[in-house]
């Protein structure tokens, strides 16, 4: 970013917004917006506490288990849909429906089935993450050079060998970007799930802070979550770039 001929550092706009926030916060315009400095002080205060640690552990567990399930089921389903017209006909409408549906509205139903607990949250994570993984794996498989598949078949590959040694690798760039997008959706899933269940993990903390109007605490927690989502995205983008040459050398 440049103004006139002065080069401004990349963080400039962020700093300006931060200063603006601090001013609004200090002016006391609204109790919803506490000063930024206060929020950061809270982050330092909250993060080492056992209740935060426990919330992080429970949330992390639901997040990881949910994503593992989404990946383990999503990739084979996507590959199957990419290979078989019949499977595609059967599943594609549902995948597209769930991809665009307001999934939060389904969480209460999940809660009725699985109760207000960790299972519901894991299921919510799966529900949020899986569809984009399926769709991207499907797109990846559809872009595989047909001769690569014929090559494997001509050397006598079993369906499992073709899946594990050709499809997954040839579609890896798309699969990875599906997983990255799935993880970002899963962050939403885990937070929304916990908010609605509101008795475990960060959901409980959010509930606690907002019901007592502890706005600094509330924002501190939110910032930490945003930072997590951002870090996950960056890490996967980096990983994806490493595998990108596949796509360019695939044909």
Partner 1 sequence: MSPAAARKIEARHRPMVEVRHLSKIYAGGVEALNAISVDFPEGQLTSLLGPSGCGKTTLLKIIAGLIPATSGEVMVDGRPVTGPGPERAFVFQDFALMPWANVLRNVAFGLELKGVAQSEREAVAEKHIASVGLGGFEHAFPHELSGGMRQRVGLARALAVNAKVLLMDEPFSAVDEQTRRKFQEDLLELIAREHKTFLFVTHSIEEAVYVSDRIVILSKRPSQVSAIVEPEIGRGRDPDQIRRDSAYLDTVETIWQSLKRYLD
Which chain residues interact with partner 1 by CB under 8 A? 145, 147-148, 150-158, 161, 165-166, 169-170, 172, 245-246, 248-251
**Residue 165 to residues 85, 148, 153, 242, Cα–Cα distance (Å):** 22, 11, 12, 19
**Residue 51 to residues 3, 127, 187, 189, Cα–Cα distance (Å):** 46, 27, 20, 21
In whole angstroms, the minimum distance from the beta carbon of 244 to partner 1 comes to 11
CB-CB contact of 34 with 215 (8 Å): yes
In whole angstroms, the minimum distance from the beta carbon of 67 to partner 1 comes to 24
In whole angstroms, the minimum distance from the beta carbon of 152 to partner 1 comes to 7
Alpha carbon distance 21, 32 (integer Å): 12
Question: Looking at beta carbons only, is 154 or 211 nearer to partner 1?
Answer: 154
Question: Looking at beta carbons only, is 172 or 220 nearer to partner 1?
Answer: 172
In whole angstroms, the minimum distance from the beta carbon of 147 to partner 1 comes to 4
Taking the alpha carbons of 118, 131, 106, 104 in that order, is the dihedral positive or negative? positive
In whole angstroms, the minimum distance from the beta carbon of 169 to partner 1 comes to 5
Question: Looking at beta carbons only, is 5 or 248 nearer to partner 1?
Answer: 248
Question: Looking at beta carbons only, is 99 or 168 nearer to partner 1?
Answer: 168
Taking the alpha carbons of 64, 66, 69, 71 in that order, is the dihedral positive or negative? negative
In whole angstroms, the minimum distance from the beta carbon of 234 to partner 1 comes to 24
Question: Looking at beta carbons only, is 212 or 241 nearer to partner 1?
Answer: 241
Question: Looking at beta carbons only, is 176 or 191 nearer to partner 1?
Answer: 176
Taking the alpha carbons of 39, 182, 197, 47 in that order, is the dihedral positive or negative? negative
């Amino acid at each position: 970013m440049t103004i006139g001929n002065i080069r401004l550092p990349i963080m400039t706009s962020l700093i300006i917004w931060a200063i603006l926030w601090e001013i609004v916060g200090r002016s006391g315009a609204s109790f919803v917006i506490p000063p930024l400095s206060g929020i950061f002080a809270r982050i330092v205060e909250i993060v080492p506490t056992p209740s935060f640690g426990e919330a992080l552990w429970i949330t992390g567990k639901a997040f990881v288990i949910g994503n593992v399930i989404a990946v383990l089921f999503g990739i084979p389903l996507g590959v199957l849909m990419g290979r078989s017209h019949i499977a595609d006909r059967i599943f594609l409408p549902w995948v597209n429906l769930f991809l665009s549906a307001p999934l939060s509205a389904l969480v209460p139903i999940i809660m009725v089935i699985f109760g207000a607990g960790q299972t519901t949250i894991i299921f919510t994570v799966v529900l949020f993450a899986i569809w984009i993984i399926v769709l991207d794996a499907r797109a990846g498989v559809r872009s595989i050079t047909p001769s690569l598949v014929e090559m494997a078949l001509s050397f006598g590959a079993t369906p499992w060998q073709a899946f594990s040694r050709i499809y997954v690798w040839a579609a890896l760039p798309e699969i990875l970007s599906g997983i990255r997008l799935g993880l970002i959706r899963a962050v939403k899933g885990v937070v929304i799930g916990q908010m609605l269940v509101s008795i475990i993990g960060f959901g409980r903390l959010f509930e606690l802070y907002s019901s007592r109007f502890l706005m600094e605490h509330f924002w501190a927690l939110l910032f930490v979550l945003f930072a997590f989502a951002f870090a996950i995205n960056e890490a996967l983008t980096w990983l994806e770039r490493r595998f990108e040459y596949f796509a360019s050398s695939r044909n």
